[in-house]
Amino acid sequence: MEVILLGTGSPMPDAKRGGPATLVKAGATQILVDAGRAVVMRLTGAGSLPIFLSGVLITHLHSDHLTDLNDVITTHYVMSQAETPLHIYGPPRTQEVVNGILASLAPDISYRLAHHPDTLWWQPKIIVTEVTPGMTFTIGEAQISVGETNHAPVEPTVSYRIEHEGKSLVLGGDGIPCETLDAICKGADAYVQTVIREDLVSLVKNKRFLDILDYHSTVEQAAQTATRAGVKKLILTHYVPSIQPGQEEEWRALAAAHFAGEILLGDDLTATTI
Ligand SMILES: [Zn+2]
Ligand SMILES: [Zn+2]
């Protein structure tokens, strides 16, 4: 499998980092996990497009993880040459979010249908599957398992384990360490975790910003989860605050103090093969 960090940013706007989104290539199967800011731009940077996706997995319904799901749906729709379903998997209420996106697109869809009556006569065909922990299903060549995470008060939130040809990858989404996260990570070849820097966030004396400390894994906690679960490779993303040029090794050292395996972090489009 190939894992490409499409967007390594967070809700905090950053000129060089898109919002949370990761592309997983499992043989001929391409799976997008979360759809944050600039996801379609970064998909093109990774040599992909929404029409090449076999499925979209959403970890939770925080806006930073799906703000550009609209663009994924629209670009998939306008580039499809036949009525082509887009499969979206996410926690309960994902259908409600997709319905809202489609409602916002109603004028746009009506213009396109009016403009291309002989080549475009279908509405976007979005097939939503709401998932709960313990579910397993298949997307193309990949086997997917759904895990429970703790990002309270955001509920429900899920993680995904993707298996393909004997390799396994876990995408933990947002949240703090918990037993169910350890369980789904157990023995995985790679584990992608969204992280924050507690030491740097703590410097900002803004109550609403400080609140984020109680529901995100720190870099150190992500490394500890990886160690407990016996993961081979730890992949960090969703950096709060953004990693500044030259700070990469400082971030890596914080994780390396708690995890002896390979640690990957970097800019948007950082990729690895597992
Ligand atoms: Zn979140
Ligand atoms: Zn987030």
Q: Ligand 2 being an ion, which residues bring their Cβ within 5 A of it?
A: 64, 174
Tens-digit pLDDT profile for the chain (274 aa)?
Answer: 999 999 999 999 999 999 999 999 999 999 999 999 999 999 999 999 999 999 999 999 999 999 999 999 999 999 999 999 999 999 999 999 999 999 999 999 999 999 999 999 999 999 999 999 999 999 999 999 999 999 999 999 999 999 999 999 999 999 999 999 999 999 999 999 999 999 998 999 999 999 898 899 999 999 999 999 999 999 999 999 999 999 999 999 999 999 999 999 999 999 999 9
From the candidates 64, 68, 71, 174, which is the catalytic residue?
A: 64
> What is the structure's pLDDT at 50?
98
182 part of the active site = no
- Cβ atoms within 10 Å of 272's Cβ, excluding its own: 17
Q: Which ligand is nearest to the CA of 215?
A: 1
Q: Are 225 and 190 in contact, with CB atoms under 8 Å apart? A: no
Amino acid making up residue 245: P
Separation of CA 51 and ligand 2 centre (Å): 25
Q: Are 170 and 184 in contact, with CB atoms under 8 Å apart? A: yes
Separation of CA 10 and ligand 2 centre (Å): 6
Q: What is the chain's Cα-based Rg?
A: 18
Q: Which ligand is nearest to the CA of 158?
A: 1
Separation of CA 249 and ligand 1 centre (Å): 25
Separation of CA 239 and ligand 2 centre (Å): 9
> What is the structure's pLDDT at 168?
98
Separation of CA 238 and ligand 1 centre (Å): 10
Q: Are 231 and 261 in contact, with CB atoms under 8 Å apart? A: yes
Amino acid making up residue 60: H
Exposed / middle / buried, residue 187 (Cβ in 10 Å: 0-12, 13-18, 19+)? exposed
Separation of CA 142 and ligand 1 centre (Å): 25
Phi, psi of 84 (to 5 degrees): -125, 125
Distance of CA 81 to the CA centre of its chain: 27
203 to each of 12, 72, 245, how far by Cα in Å?
A: 16, 36, 20
Q: Which ligand is nearest to the CA of 154?
A: 1
- The residue behind tokens 């992608």 is 192
Q: Which ligand is nearest to the CA of 149?
A: 1
Separation of CA 91 and ligand 1 centre (Å): 13
What is the DSSP code string of 204-217?
S--HHHHGGGGSS-
- The residue behind tokens 């995985």 is 188
Q: Are 65 and 36 in contact, with CB atoms under 8 Å apart? A: yes
Residue count (the chain) = 274
C-alpha 213/C-alpha 200 separation (Å) is 11
Per-residue tokens: 265: 């972090």
Q: Are 249 and 167 in contact, with CB atoms under 8 Å apart? A: no
**Closest Cα partner for 195 from 180, 213, 207, 170?**
213
